[in-house]
Structure 1
Amino acid sequence: MNATLESLVVRCEDTLCDEVDDEIVAMNLDNGAFYGLSPVATDIMKFIELPRRAREIRDHLLSRYQVDTKTCETQLLSLLDQLVAEGLIECRDDDAGSGGDSL
């Protein structure tokens, strides 16, 4: 499944995150892999301490970085897909248990 702007983005329970020198280092407990995240990925992981819609993440990034909307969306969705593939986050397209948009 590919992330969409309506996807609910949630950190996986099996992911440990810690901040080192202003960047997050993450560990997937399932496979034991460590990841050093880029500054933008770090920003995203901090922002999703509570589940967020991908469009909320996009809006957050647009307010912090000088990037056009289309580029931001394209790169964000690609990054979310990578983080899903590594088991660090989940992207859910349903509202089950999410409480809708009032997070």
Structure 2
Amino acid sequence: MKITFSDCVVVPDGVLISQLQQESVILNLESEAYFGLDDVGTRFLTVLTSSDSIAAAYEKLRAEYDVDAEVLRRDILDLVDKLIDQGLLIHT
């Protein structure tokens, strides 16, 4: 299923997020898949999982970062796709 900006993403049951300083490690306890995020990726994940939609997260992140709109859009969708593929996020 294709991800759209109207979708919402959540951390599924069985996935742990551990933060150390400004970085994060996300671990799926069932599959043992894990993913490391730097400070920017951690901020993206925090905003994505606390927003009503990917579009709302995009708007918030666009206000925070001085980045080309299309680059931000692509970076958000790339991160979401990778985390969903690893079973570390689900979209609704």
TM-score by length of 1: 0.78
Partner of 2:54: 54
Tell me, what secondary structure is at the counterpart of 1:76? helix
Deviation at 1:9, TM superposition (A): 1.1
Structure 1 residues without counterparts, runs of 5 or longer: 93-103
1:23-49 alpha-carbon deviations (Å, 9 max, x no partner): 111111121133211222211222245
1:31 match: 31
Matched position secondary structure for 1:3: coil
**After the TM superposition, which parts of structure 1 deviate over 6 Å for at least 4 consecutive aligned residues?**
none
- Note the residue ranges of structure 2 that are not aligned, 5 or more in a row: none
Q: Normalized per residue, which structure has more helix?
A: 2
Matched residues in 2 for 1:81 and 1:35: separation?
12
- When Rg is computed on C-alpha atoms for both structures, the one with the higher figure is 1
Please list the CA deviations of residues 46-85 of structure 1 after superposition, one character each: whole Å capped at 9, or x if unmatched.
2245453000111121111111222211221121111100
* Amino acid corresponding to residue 2 of structure 2 in structure 1: N
TM-score by structure 2 length?
Answer: 0.86
Count, aligned residues: 92
Instruction: Give the match's secondary structure for 1:46.
Output: helix
- What is the CA RMSD across the aligned residues, in angstroms? 1.6
CA contact (8 A) 2:22 2:38 kept: no
CA contact (8 A) 2:10 2:91 kept: yes
